[in-house]
Each structure stands twice: as structure tokens, then as C-alpha cells.
Amino acid sequence: MANHIVKVSPLDGLAKPAGSNVSLEERRFLGKVTLRGNPENKDFLSKVKDVLGVDLPLTPLTYVAGGAYTVHWVGPDEWMIHTQEDGEHALVLALREALEGIHSQVVDVSDYYVVMRLSGPAAREVLAKGSPLDFHPRAFRAGMVSGTRYANATIQISQLDDQPSYDVQVRWSFAEYLWNYFVEAAREFG
């Protein structure tokens, strides 16, 4: 039975931007784990580091990419960890085990969210259409992440490089809407 398991994504079958200035790809089934805990608790920080191999980013609006994990600052006591598909299971277990007895929260949200990668010379223009965040390189650069809004959707966006490429994370049930919005927004840029 197991080999017939069909996975679906809300982005299945959706059209991509037609032109060459904006590219849009789904980062299918990326593992995602929400971690919450007290950043002032050194024990918490070190236990987490033991599992992740990198320090939790404590500077707002930054993320750190380690080997298996990319850890995004979400709020003063909240992080979003991305890992490869199905990597979330082991991660959740490892974190829960490591944090036993420390007040914290580890939640698998791999399917709560969908991540899409938006890139290309006109990517910024596309983002500017729906988000009030300042994406100018002076304000938002590779290495940064932020929660913001795109039209009606709440998104988390991180910039990966200067191409520019972005990972945009959105709730499953808003993903189709956001994707289609991006495609339509990209149309005029060819």
C-alpha cells in the first residue's frame, strides 16, 4: 500500500509565469518545524544548537543556514526551521528529546505551510505589488527573513541571493491564491 501513497500539494497543476524575468518554483514538501522557547535560557539555546548544529538566530529578521537546517527568526521566542522533505520527523523527535524538561514547543508544520521560490530580475517588482515590506537592497538583503503580508496572505519571506531569489512561505490554503497572484503580477514583466 505504502508505495501507492499519493502526496498532493495545493500548487499541483498550476501554471507558471510565462516570461523569463520571473521564475517561480515550489519547494515541494520541505520539512518545516516551529520551535518556541526562551532565548534567555542558555540551556535551551545550547540544547537546540546540539540538535541543529547552528546557533539559533537571535537577531530579528535573520536566518542561519546550516548543513541540514535553515533556521529563521520568526519572533523573539519563535523560530522556523526548514529541512529536506521528511526530515521534520527526526528533527521533531530530536528537539523534543533534547528539550525534555525545558519549557518549549516543537511543532511539525510541514503541511501547514507551503514554500515557493520566487526569483529572477523582476522578482522584486512582483513582490512590490502585494507587500508593503521594503525589498530594496538597502533594506532587505540575502540573509534576511521577515514576516509580512502579500495582498491578503500572511507570508514569511527570506532572501537567498542577489539574483534575487526568495523563499516565500505561506499557509497551505493560501498557497494557490498567492501563486496565482505572483503569476499574474509577473505577467507584465515578461
Partner 1 sequence: MLLIECPWCGERDQTEFTCHGEAHIVRPKNPDELTDEQWGDYVFFRSNPKGLHKERWVHDHGCRRWFNVVRHTHTDIVYGSYKPGEPAPEVSEEALKGGKK
Partner 2 sequence: MTQTNRLSSGGRVNRAKTVKFTFDGKTYEGFEGDTLSSALLANNVHLVGRSFKYHRPRGVLTAGSEEPNAIVQLGEGNRTEPNCRTPMVELYDGLKATAQNCWPSVNFDIGGINNKLSRFFPAGFYYKTFMWPKGMWEKYEHVIRASAGMGNAPSENDPDTYATKHVHCDVLVAGGGVSGLAAALTAGRTGARVILAEEHAEFGGQLLSDADATIDGKPAMEWVEATLAELRSMEEVTILPRTTVTAYYDHNFLSALERVTDHLGHGNGGDLPRQRFWQIRAKQVVLAQGAIERPMLFGDNDRPGVMLASAVRTYINRFGVLPGKNVVVFTNNDSAYATAIDAHKAGAKVTIVDIRENPAGAWVEKAKALSIQIHTNMAVIGTTGYRKVTGVDIMPLTADGKGVTGQSQRIDADIVAMSSGWNPMISLFSQGRGKLRYDEKLTSFVPDHCQWANISVGAGNGEFTLEGCLSQGLAAGSKAAQDAGFGDGVVPPTPAAPEDAQGDMRILWYIPSDRPLGRGRKHFHEFQNDSTVADIHLAEREGFVSVEHLKRYTTTGMGTDQGKTSNVNAIAIMSQIRDVKIPMVGTTTFRPPYTPLTFGAAAGHAVGELFLQKRKTAMHPTHEEMGAVYEDVGDWKRPRYFPKDGEDMHAAVQRECKQVRETVGMMDASTLGKIDIQGPDAAEFLNMIYTNAWLKLGVGKARYGLMCNEHGMVFDDGVTTRLGENHFHMTTTTGGAGRVANWLEEWLQTEWPEMKVYCTSVTEQWAVSSLNGPKSRELLAELTDIDLDPENFKFMEMREGHVAGVPARVYRISFTGEIAYEINVPHRYGKHVWDALIEAGKKYDLVLYGTESMHVLRAEKGFIIAGQDTDGSVTPMDLDMSWIVGKNKPDFLGRRSFARSDTSRPGRKQLVGILTEDPNVVLPEGAHVVETVKDRPPMDMLGHISSSYMSPNVGRSIAMGLIKDGFNRKGQTLSVPLMDGSVHKVTITDPIFFDKEGERTRG
Please calculate the CA angle 87-180-18 and round it to the nearest 5 degrees. Answer: 100
Span from 42-50, 51-59, 60-68, 121-129 in contact with partner 2 (CB under 8 A): 121-129
Please provide the DSSP assignment of 89-157 as one string.
Answer: HHHHHHHHHHTTTS-EEEEE-TTTEEEEEEESTTHHHHHHHH--S--STTTS-TTBEEEEEETTEEEEE
- What string marks each residue from 68 to 87 as x (binds partner 2 by CB under 8 A) or -? ---------x----------
Q: Which does 148 bind (CB under 5 to 8 A by kind): partner 1, partner 2, none?
A: partner 1
Q: How far is the CB of 135 from partner 1 (least distance, A)?
A: 13
Part of the chain binding partner 1 (CB under 8 A), chosen from 20-28, 38-46, 149-157, 175-183: 149-157
Q: Interface with partner 2 by CB under 8 A: which range of 43-51, 53-61, 115-123, 165-173?
A: 165-173
Cα 122 vs. chain centroid, distance in angstroms? 20
Q: Considering the rule CB under 8 A, would residue 159 count as an interface residue with partner 1?
A: no
Helix axes 87-98, 42-52, angle to 10 degrees: 150
189 in Cβ contact with 22 (< 8 Å): yes
Find the radius of gyration of the CA atoms of the chain.
Answer: 17
Per rule CB under 8 A, is residue 76 in the interface with partner 1? Answer: yes
Q: Does 15 bind partner 2 (CB under 8 A)?
A: no
DSSP 3-state of 88:
helix
Contacts with partner 1 by CB under 8 A lie at 60-61, 74-76, 78, 132-133, 146-149, 154-155
Contacts with partner 2 by CB under 8 A lie at 1-2, 4-10, 29, 34, 36, 77, 103-113, 125, 128-134, 136, 138-139, 151-153, 171-174, 176-177, 180-181, 184-185, 187-188, 190
